[in-house]
Chain A
Amino acid sequence: MALKIVKGSIDRMFDKNLQDLVRGIRNHKEDEAKYISTCIDEIKQELKQDNIAVKANAVCKLTYLQMLGYDVSWAAFNIVEVMSSSKFTYKRIGYLAASQCFHESTDVIMLTTNQIRKDLSSPNQYDTGVALTGLSCFVTPDLARDLANDIMTLMSHTKPYIRKKAVLIMYKVFLKYPESLRPAFPRLKEKLEDPDPGVQSAAVNVICELARRNPKNYLSLAPLFFKLMTSSTNNWVLIKIIKLFGALTPLEPRLGKKLIEPLTNLIHSTSAMSLLYECVNTVIAGQYWESVGNLCVQKLRILIEDSDQNLKYLGLLAMSKILKTHPKSVQSHKDLILQCLDDKDESIRLRALDLLYGMVSKKNLMEIVKKLMLHVDKAEGTTYRDELLTKIIDICSQSNYQYITNFEWYISILVELTRLEGTRHGHLIASQMLDVAIRVKAIRAFAVAQMATLLDNAHLLTGNTQRNGICEVLYAAAWICGEFSEHLENPMQTLEAMLRPKVATLPGHIQAVYVQNAAKLFATVLKGEEGNTDGTAAQEASQLMIDRLPLFVQSANLEVQERASCILQLVKYIQKLQQKDVEVAEEVNALFAGELNPVAPKAQKKVPVPEGLDLDAWINEPPSESESEDEQPKAIFAKEEPKHSRPRHTEVDEKELARRREARKQEQANNPFYIKASPSSQKVYQEAPGVEHIPVVQIDLNVPLKVPGLPMSDQYVKMEEERRQKERAEKKKKEKKKRKEKRSGRGKKHDSAPESEEDITPAHMVDIVTEEMPENALPSDDDERDPTDPHKALDIDLDKPLADSEKLPVRSHRAAESQKSPTDGETENATLQEPKKKSSKEKREKKKDKERDRKVYDIQGNLQDGSQVVVSVIFENKCNSFLKSMEFNVLDSLNSKLQRPEGSGPHDGLVVPFQLPPGVSNEARFVFTVQSIVMPQKLKGTLTFIVKNEDDSTHEKLDFKLHFTCTSYLITTPCYSDAFAKLLESGDLKSSSIRLEGVNMPFHHLLARICFHHHFSVVERIDSCASMYSRSIQGHHVCLLVKTTVSIDAKCDEPTLLGNVLDEIKQTFSQC
């Protein structure tokens, strides 16, 4: 023995410890990967040793390697081994490794339940602490369910050190196992008044997190928190409480009034910026704006003026929140925010930009955009400039161009933006141009003129290869000029510009638009020349097309090529007609008749699904898999056999044809996607009044449209200002009159706001065409809330009194047991789901079509009373009717009896204490008394219930069998190796053994399976074998020695029980 220890120490001395590993990695900078792979090999060797110190050292090194990004999931079992060491040193390392490496899909986690439970109840508070810390990182729904009660007990531990950890971890448990919230909540609430400030603050933290997600359930706690808020001096706690009130006040306006005073005091008095910031945030969220709002904005101004970048940033962030609810308060600080655009910190500039987005009004839009345009010129670095560009467009286009009063100005801004060097956002500008030109009918003439200039000066945009992104603008320009060519001053000139040879250097999709729109222009030219007796101009146009188009016919881009050849042939034909003096203009124009209307982006989604259309249904029966497998090889080898399988029905009589035709028509009539030959909707548009009735504004063409490079938007700003002034002057006159009239009445209203939003009328009648939606579009019901949000499950009413059924899953004996002896009384919450049983149930479900409910049950032994077994049955209602008056009855056997309440007969059923609405499941527990546990047995039973439909109700019954396996009498009991050895040596046990055939799974999976399904615990694992232990409810010891050769040697003091348990184990593995 002594030699062994010495040997272990020597081994250890030659092992690398963590420091050596780190040093080694730092010394092997060139071949780090290679060095680490040798280290991992060493670690693998170390993990095979028995010495726990060596193992812990190896696991510690693995944790470090995991951080470096190496996969260590293969060592999960070893980590569990180190976790279960009795020495704190190693346990701590094990738990650290687990918290870093384990996640929900780590399968060995289910092996840890017992170990964690043991550590949680350890007399050493640091063991408990380590377990709680670890658990907070890797808690799974299973662990949460099994350990919820233990953790809840720890919330009342004598040591505050444990209490505060237990309180904090409860939040994680709630998230994973929402059913625990209601049973645990009263105790959590108690902790708000814990004598220890640490525990108190932990409870505040947890409740604050919970309440933020589902505030309405926590309103009743408001008085308690109010008390805490006025008494606490800890800033961190105060911040949480104030945050909590921020969530509660929107639901309870009365709270707001109460809070005003303490909040104002805090804002005035605190020196902690974090607290001040939180107060301001709460004020913004709540209903206190009237009284404290101005104070907040003042404080924020101080933050923004501060030299500390962080405060400046947060100030702006808070301002943007205020903006949403009280835009006026922010707008008065426009100067300050515009100043921030000059800040050297880009993130602050971007924040300021965000704010500007919300600050614009009809009044100041032009001014703000002008400032931004200046910044665009000054800006260094393309990313920030691109950001500015997108912001300018966002600001102008927001809420359907609400703030733009002068679209001519906007178009000229867009045109100016095209002169930006190296921007990526050509596409964005282009889509804005298109959008405005299409939707604002009044602006088309102006837009077309501007676009024509752009096309004429296309070389400015494409000249520099760096500016590639911007040439997208030409796409829009060409399309606008083509589509609205009737507004063109000189279509011929534009046509010429669009067919320049240089165009062929543009990207393919733009060329395609050029070609197509050249054709539209051509049509317009023809139309324009129609009246002239002298047809030379028209012929010139045709000649121009015929000369230039061949260049595009040669294009490598298919789209361009196709369009060009099509149009070229068309023009050639037209030319021939022209030579014969045939009037063609009208017919050519008919090619491009009709107006293209904008379609809403969501239009497709909104098309209602027609009744009876099931897109998931098979149109043809899918071929069965076996068939295709069998037949395919045949088809390869067998030479084309004549297929006479398909009967030919060439001779279909007339009647049949007519019937089919009729059916098809019927179907097409009902099919929304079938385009009918009836008069198209296009005509409707043409005939509809509107286009002619829109007042087209006469544009003052003295504005130097044709000088590229000169910013024109400024001129529009001036013009607009003049116009507004004029308007204002007129208004004032009117107002004066009005005022005179009103003075006599009530004159108070007119004092404020020299110019309000509504006063500004747009420069010209703007008719923004709304986007088209399909007919009978469904109303939008986009539920934005993420269905996978874990917090949704925690939306639970906490004020309702606890029902009897709402208890944390724990067996009745647990509390007593753990008091008796915390070290050895650990029993697993034997949750066994009988796979076999379930499958047979499912089978029956298929047989019996009208199966009303499904049941899954657990059988749990009760250690306290050696003859009691608790069966929990989950009833799930799978039908659409309401189930009530359920009665559960079992035919007792000599050995097992259902415990019935006193006074009831031996054959009476037990009433299930709940009803089941459709789709709901619930759990009921029944206690059985069992005499002998050495044999498995089956009990027959029936469940009777009333099925209640809307109009009638029927009484039905369901037969079932309960299978009491021997396994269900076993209770996981940990055992130490020395005790285990003694037990084996005692010679009281009879032995037996089995072999498991055809099992090939990793050894630790095999062990996990035995632990899980048969309630064993691993005593010791040495290389290729492991010893396991379990105890029956009547105190029989069951010992197993499992070998990697998949044989099991077993010993037990009751041979019959042992035989049956082994049979059951065998069965478990035969199923996999």
Chain B
Amino acid sequence: MMQFMLLFSRQGKLRLQKWYVPLSDKEKKKITRELVQTVLARKPKMCSFLEWRDLKIVYKRYASLYFCCAIEDQDNELITLEIIHRYVELLDKYFGSVCELDIIFNFEKAYFILDEFLLGGEAQETSKKNVLKAIEQADLLQEVRPALTGKAVIIIII
């Protein structure tokens, strides 16, 4: 089972974090700092896996973002890479050729997509189409904020 997933930039800035095991904030921060450092220190040609504490870390870099997952000893590294890739594809489909800024400015959307894809550290949906459909449906439910026209504002100010 996946223990957590972190997204961070080449500069080591955290962009997204999802924890599937209960940990205190302090512990989370410590782990994040340690892992970001370790992963960034690795050379580009090195393989995507490393052993860390009693977990296995699987990471992959897409453009300027590192996607980093921690899995348990018996889990399959290659499938974790596939999961990371699938998540990137989902983001790509949703945002339309996703870039780091999309995730920064719409970070809650990135979480919603992740939550439709993984639950409690397990893949809940293997079909890309179904995940995107669920997200679109949920987005439709989201009421559009009443856009204030300039007129209305003026009236009130007067």
| A interface residues with partner B (beta carbon < 8 Å) | 6, 9-10, 12-13, 18-19, 22, 53, 60, 63-64, 67-69, 71, 73, 87-89, 92-93, 96, 99-100, 103-105, 124, 126, 129-130, 132-133, 136-138, 161, 164-165, 168-169, 171-172, 197-198, 201-202, 205-206, 209, 212, 234, 236-237, 239, 243, 273-274, 277-278, 281, 309-310, 312-314, 344-348
Kindly state whether residue B89 has any CB partner on chain A within 8 Å: no
Q: How far is the CA of A727 from the CA of B146 in the complex (A)?
A: 94
Distance (whole angstroms) from the CB of A351 to the closest CB of chain B:
9
| B interface residues with partner A (beta carbon < 8 Å) | 1, 14-17, 19-20, 22-25, 29, 43, 45-50, 74, 76-79, 81-82, 104-105, 107-108, 111-112, 115-116, 119-120, 122-127, 130, 134, 137-138, 141-143, 145-146, 148, 152-153, 156
- CB-nearest residue of chain A to B81: A310
Cβ–Cβ < 8 Å partners of B104 in chain A: 22
Contact among B105, B125, B134 with A22 in the assembled complex (CB-CB below 8 Å)? B105
**Residue with the highest number of chain B CB atoms closer than 10 Å, among A71, A172, A348:** A172
Contact B14 A124 (CB under 8 A): no
Q: How far is the CA of A136 from the CA of B120 in the complex (A)?
A: 6
Contact B112 A104 (CB under 8 A): no
Cβ–Cβ < 8 Å partners of A129 in chain B: 116, 134, 138
Q: How far is the CA of A346 from the CA of B50 in the complex (A)?
A: 11
Distance (whole angstroms) from the CB of A104 to the closest CB of chain B:
5
Contact B105 A19 (CB under 8 A): yes
Contact A345 B112 (CB under 8 A): no
Cβ–Cβ < 8 Å partners of B81 in chain A: 274, 310
Which secondary structure dominates chain B's binding surface? mixed
Contact B49 A347 (CB under 8 A): yes
- CB-nearest residue of chain B to A285: B74
28 contacts between A and B (CB under 8 A): A9-B148, A10-B156, A60-B108, A64-B107, A67-B17, A68-B14, A88-B141, A96-B115, A103-B24, A126-B137, A133-B115, A133-B119, A137-B20, A137-B120, A164-B124, A168-B122, A234-B126, A236-B79, A239-B76, A274-B81, A277-B78, A278-B79, A309-B46, A310-B47, A310-B48, A345-B43, A347-B46, A347-B49
Contact A89 B49 (CB under 8 A): no
Q: How far is the CA of A243 from the CA of B23 in the complex (A)?
A: 27
Contact among B77, B120, B123 with A171 in the assembled complex (CB-CB below 8 Å)? B120
Q: How far is the CA of A18 from the CA of B109 in the complex (A)?
A: 12
Q: How far is the CA of A103 from the CA of B29 in the complex (A)?
A: 14
Contact among B20, B74, B142, B152 with A88 in the assembled complex (CB-CB below 8 Å)? B142
- CB-nearest residue of chain B to A276: B78
Q: How far is the CA of A24 from the CA of B153 in the complex (A)?
A: 24
* Total inter-chain residue pairs, C-beta < 8 Å: 154
- CB-nearest residue of chain B to A346: B46
Q: How far is the CA of A236 from the CA of B81 in the complex (A)?
A: 12
Contact A164 B120 (CB under 8 A): no
Contact B108 A18 (CB under 8 A): yes
Distance (whole angstroms) from the CB of B12 to the closest CB of chain A:
12
Contact A126 B19 (CB under 8 A): no
Contact A347 B50 (CB under 8 A): yes
Contact B47 A345 (CB under 8 A): yes
Contact A89 to B76, CB < 8 A, known contacts A67-B107, A126-B137: no
Q: How far is the CA of A212 from the CA of B72 in the complex (A)?
A: 11
Contact B123 A205 (CB under 8 A): yes
Cβ–Cβ < 8 Å partners of B16 in chain A: 67
Contact A236 B123 (CB under 8 A): yes
Q: How far is the CA of A164 from the CA of B50 in the complex (A)?
A: 31
Distance (whole angstroms) from the CB of A455 to the closest CB of chain B:
40
Contact A13 B47 (CB under 8 A): no
**Residue with the highest number of chain A CB atoms closer than 10 Å, among B17, B79, B105:** B79
Contact B49 A310 (CB under 8 A): yes
Distance (whole angstroms) from the CB of B143 to the closest CB of chain A:
6
Cβ–Cβ < 8 Å partners of A105 in chain B: 24
Contact B126 A198 (CB under 8 A): yes
Contact B145 A53 (CB under 8 A): yes
Contact among A63, A136, A165, A277 with B108 in the assembled complex (CB-CB below 8 Å)? A63
Q: How far is the CA of A258 from the CA of B127 in the complex (A)?
A: 31
Contact A278 B76 (CB under 8 A): yes
Contact among A71, A202, A212 with B122 in the assembled complex (CB-CB below 8 Å)? A202
Q: How far is the CA of A63 from the CA of B1 in the complex (A)?
A: 25
Contact A169 B119 (CB under 8 A): yes
Contact B141 A124 (CB under 8 A): yes
Q: How far is the CA of A198 from the CA of B130 in the complex (A)?
A: 10
Cβ–Cβ < 8 Å partners of A126 in chain B: 134, 137-138, 141
Contact A137 B77 (CB under 8 A): no
Contact A314 B137 (CB under 8 A): no
Contact B76 A165 (CB under 8 A): no
**Residue with the highest number of chain A CB atoms closer than 10 Å, among B49, B116, B152:** B49
Q: How far is the CA of A202 from the CA of B107 in the complex (A)?
A: 27
Interface contacts beyond A18-B105, A96-B112: sample of 19 additional A-B pairs, CB < 8 Å, sorted by A? A9-B148, A10-B153, A19-B105, A53-B145, A60-B108, A67-B14, A67-B16, A71-B25, A89-B143, A126-B138, A132-B119, A201-B123, A201-B126, A202-B124, A205-B122, A236-B82, A243-B76, A312-B47, A346-B43
Cβ–Cβ < 8 Å partners of B116 in chain A: 129
Cβ–Cβ < 8 Å partners of A310 in chain B: 47-49, 77-78, 81
Q: How far is the CA of A629 from the CA of B77 in the complex (A)?
A: 62
Distance (whole angstroms) from the CB of B15 to the closest CB of chain A:
8
- CB-nearest residue of chain B to A133: B115
Distance (whole angstroms) from the CB of B87 to the closest CB of chain A:
14
Cβ–Cβ < 8 Å partners of A132 in chain B: 119
Contact B74 A243 (CB under 8 A): yes
Distance (whole angstroms) from the CB of B156 to the closest CB of chain A:
6
Contact A347 B78 (CB under 8 A): no
Distance (whole angstroms) from the CB of A213 to the closest CB of chain B:
10
- CB-nearest residue of chain B to A68: B14
Q: How far is the CA of A100 from the CA of B4 in the complex (A)?
A: 12
**Residue with the highest number of chain A CB atoms closer than 10 Å, among B74, B78, B124:** B124
Contact A209 B22 (CB under 8 A): no
Cβ–Cβ < 8 Å partners of A67 in chain B: 14-17, 107
Cβ–Cβ < 8 Å partners of A93 in chain B: 108
Contact A277 B76 (CB under 8 A): yes
Contact A309 to B122, CB < 8 A, known contacts A87-B143, A274-B82: no
Q: How far is the CA of A347 from the CA of B39 in the complex (A)?
A: 12
Contact B142 A348 (CB under 8 A): no
Distance (whole angstroms) from the CB of B60 to the closest CB of chain A:
9
Contact A13 B148 (CB under 8 A): yes
Contact A92 B49 (CB under 8 A): no
Cβ–Cβ < 8 Å partners of B105 in chain A: 18-19, 22
Contact B74 A212 (CB under 8 A): yes
Contact A314 B77 (CB under 8 A): yes
Distance (whole angstroms) from the CB of B24 to the closest CB of chain A:
6
Contact A96 to B120, CB < 8 A, known contacts A67-B16, A346-B46: no
Contact A314 to B120, CB < 8 A, known contacts A198-B127, A236-B79, A243-B76: no
Distance (whole angstroms) from the CB of B128 to the closest CB of chain A:
12
Q: How far is the CA of A105 from the CA of B142 in the complex (A)?
A: 31
**In the complex, the 9 A-B pairs of residues with the closest C-beta atoms, listed nearest first:** A274-B78, A309-B47, A136-B120, A313-B47, A205-B122, A89-B142, A133-B115, A88-B141, A274-B79
Distance (whole angstroms) from the CB of A923 to the closest CB of chain B:
27
Distance (whole angstroms) from the CB of B94 to the closest CB of chain A:
15
- CB-nearest residue of chain B to A273: B78
Contact A103 B22 (CB under 8 A): yes
Contact A103 B123 (CB under 8 A): no
Q: How far is the CA of A395 from the CA of B96 in the complex (A)?
A: 53
Contact A104 to B22, CB < 8 A, known contacts A69-B29, A309-B45: yes
Q: How far is the CA of A9 from the CA of B146 in the complex (A)?
A: 8
Q: How far is the CA of A172 from the CA of B2 in the complex (A)?
A: 13
Contact A274 to B76, CB < 8 A, known contacts A234-B126, A313-B47: yes
Cβ–Cβ < 8 Å partners of B14 in chain A: 67-69
Distance (whole angstroms) from the CB of A183 to the closest CB of chain B:
20
Contact A172 to B120, CB < 8 A, known contacts A10-B156, A88-B138, A133-B115: yes
Q: How far is the CA of A39 from the CA of B16 in the complex (A)?
A: 20
- CB-nearest residue of chain B to A348: B47
